[in-house]
Each structure stands twice: as C-alpha cells, then as structure tokens.
Amino acid sequence: MLKKMNGVKYWALIGAALLLSACANSNTNTGALDNAPAEPVAAEPQEPVVAEPTESVTTEPMMEDPATQESLDMAADNALVYFGYDRYDLSAEGRAGLQAQAAWLVAHADVKVTVEGHCDERGTREYNLALGDRRANAVKNYLVALGVDPSRIHTVSYGKERPAVTGTGESVWSKNRRGYTRVN
C-alpha cells in the first residue's frame, strides 16, 4: 500500500513539475497572477529578406472558358439543330451550328456530350423513337466528320416524349423536331 501511495505522489510531483516548467517558459507576461502590467519585449530590428527572382515572370490574365452547358450554348447558339418534317438530313443552318459546336468540342477535348434526338407529336411512339435516333446520329456523324472523337459523343432518342413546346400546329411542331447537344 505504501508503494502504491508513493507511486501516486511520484506521478503527481512529475505532473506539477511539467506544469510549472511550461508556465515558466512563457515569453509573455499576462499579469494574471501578480496583477502587474505586461512589459513589452523589445525586439531587435531585422532587415527584411527579399528574394530576387532569377527569371523574369510575366503574367497574363487568363480568360477561363468553363466546359459547361452554358458555354456550349453560347458558342453554338443554344446547341440546337432543327429538322424538317419526317427528315433527318441537316440543313445549311444546322451545319453552321454544328461547326460552332465542333470548334467548341475540339477546344474542350475532355468534355463528353450526349446528342438527343427529338420529334414532334405526330406519328407512333416507335416511329418517332427511330426517327429521333436517326436525327441524333446525323448530328453525331457530322461532328465526327469535323474532327470530334466519336467516343466522346453518346446518342439517345426521346422521340416525341420530351417536347420543347407543347401544343399543336406547325409553329410548335417545328420547335420539337430537333437535335440537342448536352454536356455530360
């Protein structure tokens, strides 16, 4: 029992010594114990260290063009290609938009896209899915012909299932017959 008591006293004495030594090593006087005002420690003036560059460095402001859907839409006028009724061939306007898309895709070589094929509400579901697939592939093939890696382009057909505009009539249907390039 006496040995156990001495062991506890030993560790208490070690702990107290460590605590006092930590307080004694403090460089600042807070005045908390003796209510004396803290005395500033005078530091010797030192000369600032200035590193001289070994090479001249020029910086130019970088204009970041993030690889986002908004960036593609701005570059390619909404990334849309419109088709005629029951058609999947590209018009001159469609080819011009795809040339802008291809330039953007070449500049953003790490971006993958999905080309969506859409149709108007006329025709059966199966027929419109097949037509949407042909439209999406027409867009993909033209982008590939312009130098875009085909492994970066996925195609999907939504047929008439996702109209851009609801309603009937040629003005509505013409907006739903489209190919849309979406950034993944």
Q: Which residues of the chain have pLDDT under 50?
A: 1-2, 30-32
Number of structural domains, the chain? Answer: 1
144 falls within a domain: yes
Q: Which pLDDT belongs to residue 78?
A: 82
Q: Which pLDDT belongs to residue 130?
A: 98
59 falls within a domain: no
* Domain interval for residue 148: 69-183
CA neighbor of 153 nearest in space, from 145, 163, 165, 144: 144
CATH code (residue 169): 3.30.1330.60
What is the separation of C-alpha 113 from the centre of its chain, rounded to a whole number of angstroms?
A: 14
Q: Which pLDDT belongs to residue 2?
A: 46
What is the token pair recorded at 60?
Answer: 């130019």
What is the token pair recorded at 181?
Answer: 């390039």
130 falls within a domain: yes
Q: Which pLDDT belongs to residue 51?
A: 56
Q: Which pLDDT belongs to residue 49?
A: 58
- Cβ distance 136 to 116 under 8 Å? yes
Q: Rounded to whole angstroms, how far apart are CA atoms 149 and 112?
A: 10
7 falls within a domain: no
96 falls within a domain: yes
pTM beyond 0.85: the answer is no
46 falls within a domain: no
Q: Which pLDDT belongs to residue 76?
A: 85
166 falls within a domain: yes
8 falls within a domain: no
Q: What is the pLDDT of residues 19-59, one digit of tens each?
A: 556 555 555 554 445 555 555 555 666 666 555 656 655 55
